[in-house]
Amino acid sequence: MNHRYQTLISPFVLPNGVVLRTRMVHPKCAPDQNQGPEDFPTEMFIHFHREMARRGNALVIADIRDTPGVRQMPDTHDFAHSYTFDTKNPAVQNYICQLADDVHFYGSKVLAMCMPVWPRGKNLGGKSPRFRQEARGFVPAPPMEMATKEEIRAAIDEAVARALKFKSWGYDGIAVHIYNDLNADMNIRTDEYGGSTENRCRMMMELFDAVKKACGRKFIVHAMLNGVPVEADRRPEDVSPGYTLDDVVTFCKLAESRCDVITVRELNITESHPTGYTFRKEQHRCINMIRYLKDAGVSIPLAAAGAFQDPGEMERLLSSGACDLISIGRGQFTDKDYFEKILAATPMGHFGDSEKDLVGALLFLLNNDAAGFITGICLPVDGGFSAYSGV
């Protein structure tokens, strides 16, 4: 037993005051194979997210999709094989609430994916990507039209309505993946939603503001985006995402009063997902991206997502201040003993309960009869790390 993972399993306070039990975040990472044709979350689907909380993740992101259109897609299309839930059915809502309750049982917070939905054939920028993925490979993507300002407002209002629904179901916040919103190559607008970086960020900032206004300050807003490698880490095969790392700095600074945490992913999907072929310990380009953001003055908590598996490596990055949180998916859910391996390094033999343990210490210090003669010291609430000698 030792204390080598102290920072990894220490509580972390978000800007809105919400306390996370550890520094680990589980990303939007639910294999479609966990869900069949059922229009409700199956026990396997719920079990998956429950396990992610049991294994120590303070934030668990659930993708509660209601996209019945995927059932009408040809089976050659990748999304045709995705799951979809009938979230308007009260009986289905019972299962959605059960998922949140199961995550909360372990003291973790659960967020729901909540993306703006555009009318068919439209998007914000008015231009489509060159290709889309299907089972037969990548095929030319159909052209897209620019959403009107009325449609932008409607998309925001609809997303806020879903956020309120998730809150009523016991969810602690939402997660939003920033896909092409920053992409200057796909934004041909000339109004206040196009052109400059600030304008291209405007719609997402309006969404964040509207969600906070409707759901309250404590309701977590979590943004996720692909970063851009710093100059020293760039490779000839890198494909530009249509924005620069300085654009990401601007986005983060605009989001600081609106968003509670931002996950910075690797530039491409391969580096974000560990496999025997892609995983390289100590080689995570997202870490230097986050260092660049912090050096530029970004103060919002930043989570790194880049094929992390080794707890020791994550502990070194967190304790050095290279990032604030670690987003870990496959490296954790493929190892059923992951929780036990980290827990073995905790002197108390269990994770701290952020609400019970921290609030208990606070109430003790506030009680003048119990703690009136205590002054000039810091009270460690660390499961025994400070007192443990390591022998």
Smallest CA-to-CA distance from 2 within 260, 384, 359 is with 384
* Position with higher pLDDT, 187 vs 333: 187
Q: Report the alpha-carbon distance of residue 254 to residue 58 in Å, rounded.
A: 25
The tens digit of pLDDT for each residue in 278-326 reads: 456 667 899 999 999 999 999 999 999 988 888 889 999 999 999 999 9
Mean pLDDT (the chain) is 87
Confidence of residue 275 (pLDDT cuts 50, 70, 90): low
Smallest CA-to-CA distance from 187 within 152, 151, 144, 150 is with 144
| Cβ–Cβ < 8 Å for 115, 59 | no
- End-to-end CA gap in the chain: 8
The tens digit of pLDDT for each residue in 333-369 reads: 777 777 777 767 666 666 566 566 767 777 888 888 8
Predicted TM-score (pTM) of the model is 0.86
pLDDT score of 5:
84
pLDDT score of 390:
44
The tens digit of pLDDT for each residue in 366-383 reads: 888 877 788 877 777 766
